[in-house]
Chains A and B, each alone.
Chain A
């Protein structure tokens, strides 16, 4: 669907697409409480399981069922459900502190899970240790904060991406491919990663996460701190991954316009619960969502 649309896009349409954070007015001023009240109203007819499954194209590749998870003894996610089909992309949006990052954390095993199941393919991965997630479930995670190894060279950082490969040469070959693709990184391959600028770092993190050819990609706020052109670039990379390599992508994004425009499926999370779900483009047009979460 959105696939075709984009390939047929004219030059003019491309220009109109949202770049960076986009522009627009700032007139819709709502208090946090008002947003919360309205969100509650929307959440009253939260999507049902069938709707979610339908959005996922009928068959879920990754599913989260009735998940209750949090930090310490505090529960953040309450009975949270998520379905995504193979090769789809999903964007989570919502107010600050809604629990978006917590969803990704839970998939990877960084939270306390009180109840519920996380399934990937046929496998129940709810209680798998984080370091097994990549090898056994094929999940790669691009963290919200910095995750390069600052004192290793760019090259070594990429090799680390292939740490789980049996032969080190495979990792090196994969790294070479990345360098071919991104000359920006190739130029700096022998320098320690700490000297990279923010955008290059993000690039490195993303390409490193791909060395092991994961099935599922978790991306937490890719556009934080990036200049507009880099944001566009990152989304192009993600698009490429989804379209040409068929990866499944779950992303969290406060730059919600950009995120929803990109994603096949959009979920709105409020107070640890799913409030709304729908195709990305649809949510983007939805007046409620626009007013409450996209800033008008």
Chain B
């Protein structure tokens, strides 16, 4: 409880923890957008989510090694991963969209371990970082420090969330995506090429993860095995937000980030993860108890 006292005595620490939580939460949310899309539209849980993030990071590193600003890595990673996502769909995913969701889970798990080791063979398992060239904000007499790249990540997550929302609401492809997610068979009888819709959805997801990866390598670090935490958190966020609720994804992402930071501070870093996952279980159990009282309606 010493740590709690500390927070009460030095309230400014709360600000730092909250901000740090929000930054990382924004990146989680970015990866989770894509997962929510793919899950909602294609009924696929994409376990390779974290690996897309990781690839985005490595692409940014390559951009940097080519002598360009790593900030260019954000669009570069998004574009490359969009193409990769499309290819993956055309080669593998299309065969399993109609199958049981669990099949997709395993297939993407296979893809994910392939990617991990491929990247390990190509780049080695070193921890890598890229310097964005952006500076820091120092507030309250250095008591609160804010890295500008993280602010950028935060803003970007919001902007992308908004853009995605508009895209789904307004554009033709967006409408096709929504229709397919609600009733694929009906979409097909209206002439929607659901196959292309799926490909686009998967590719957009990969692109979003790529952008997140570019931010991760600039704000944190990357190595070939870094993916799993991002996948797992995307999962959690989507579950908490509910499918097809982009606003909820942002809120859940930010909330999760902040919860982790405070948990790490209060309980020690070793219980940070355990706390967050137990929290997840508690949330689910609570939701379950509420639901049990008013049961799902059946026809």
A residues at B contact (CB < 8 Å): 108, 129-135, 140-141, 143, 146-152, 156, 159-161, 163-164, 168, 208-209, 212
Nearest CB of B to A8, in Å:
37
Q: Are B182 and A151 in contact (CB under 8 A)?
A: yes
**Chain B residues touching A, majority SS:** helix
Chain B hits for A140, CB < 8 A = 189
| Residue from B179, B193, B194, B244 in contact with A160 in the complex, judged by beta carbons closer than 8 Å | B179
Residue contacts A-B, CB under 8 angstroms, 11 given: A133-B189, A146-B183, A147-B183, A147-B186, A149-B179, A151-B178, A152-B178, A156-B175, A160-B179, A168-B172, A209-B189
Using a Cβ cutoff of 8 Å, how many contacts connect chains A and B?
64
| Residue from B172, B175, B188 in contact with A131 in the complex, judged by beta carbons closer than 8 Å | B188
CA distance A151 to B40 in the complex (A): 13
CA distance A191 to B179 in the complex (A): 16
Q: Are A130 and B172 in contact (CB under 8 A)?
A: no
CA distance A130 to B184 in the complex (A): 12
Chain A hits for B250, CB < 8 A = none
Q: Are A143 and B185 in contact (CB under 8 A)?
A: yes
Q: Are B183 and A163 in contact (CB under 8 A)?
A: no
Q: Are B194 and A149 in contact (CB under 8 A)?
A: no
CA distance A133 to B188 in the complex (A): 9
A152 in contact with B185 given A131-B194, A135-B191 (CB within 8 Å): no
Determine the residue in chain A with the shortest Cβ distance to B186. Answer: A147
Chain B hits for A163, CB < 8 A = 172, 175-176, 179, 190-192
Q: Are A147 and B185 in contact (CB under 8 A)?
A: yes
CA distance A141 to B183 in the complex (A): 14
CA distance A135 to B193 in the complex (A): 11
- In B172-213, the 8 Å CB interface with A consists of 172, 175-176, 178-179, 182-183, 185-195
CA distance A31 to B194 in the complex (A): 44
**Extra contacts besides A147-B183, A160-B190 (10): CB < 8 Å:** A134-B190, A141-B189, A143-B189, A147-B186, A148-B186, A149-B187, A151-B182, A151-B244, A160-B187, A212-B190
Nearest 4 interchain pairs by C-beta: A147-B186, A134-B191, A149-B182, A164-B191
Number of interface residues of B (CB under 8 A): 19
CA distance A272 to B248 in the complex (A): 50
Nearest CB of B to A127, in Å:
15
- In B26-56, the 8 Å CB interface with A consists of none
Q: Are A148 and B191 in contact (CB under 8 A)?
A: no
Q: Are B192 and A131 in contact (CB under 8 A)?
A: yes
Determine the residue in chain B with the shortest Cβ distance to A134. Answer: B191
Chain B hits for A160, CB < 8 A = 175, 179, 187, 190
A130 in contact with B189 given A147-B183, A149-B183 (CB within 8 Å): yes
CA distance A77 to B189 in the complex (A): 22
Nearest CB of A to B175, in Å:
7
Q: Are A131 and B191 in contact (CB under 8 A)?
A: yes
CA distance A147 to B193 in the complex (A): 16
Nearest CB of A to B196, in Å:
9
Q: Are B176 and A134 in contact (CB under 8 A)?
A: no
Q: Are A150 and B183 in contact (CB under 8 A)?
A: yes
Q: Are B193 and A131 in contact (CB under 8 A)?
A: yes
CA distance A151 to B244 in the complex (A): 10
Chain A hits for B191, CB < 8 A = 131-135, 163-164, 212
Chain A hits for B193, CB < 8 A = 129, 131
CA distance A161 to B192 in the complex (A): 10
| Residue from B179, B183, B188 in contact with A130 in the complex, judged by beta carbons closer than 8 Å | B188
| Residue from A108, A129, A135, A143 in contact with B186 in the complex, judged by beta carbons closer than 8 Å | A143
A108 in contact with B183 given A152-B178, A163-B175 (CB within 8 Å): no
Chain B hits for A164, CB < 8 A = 190-191
CA distance A151 to B41 in the complex (A): 13
Nearest CB of A to B150, in Å:
35
| Residue from B175, B182, B195 in contact with A150 in the complex, judged by beta carbons closer than 8 Å | B182
Chain B hits for A168, CB < 8 A = 172
Q: Are A148 and B190 in contact (CB under 8 A)?
A: no
Q: Are A149 and B178 in contact (CB under 8 A)?
A: yes
Chain A hits for B244, CB < 8 A = 151
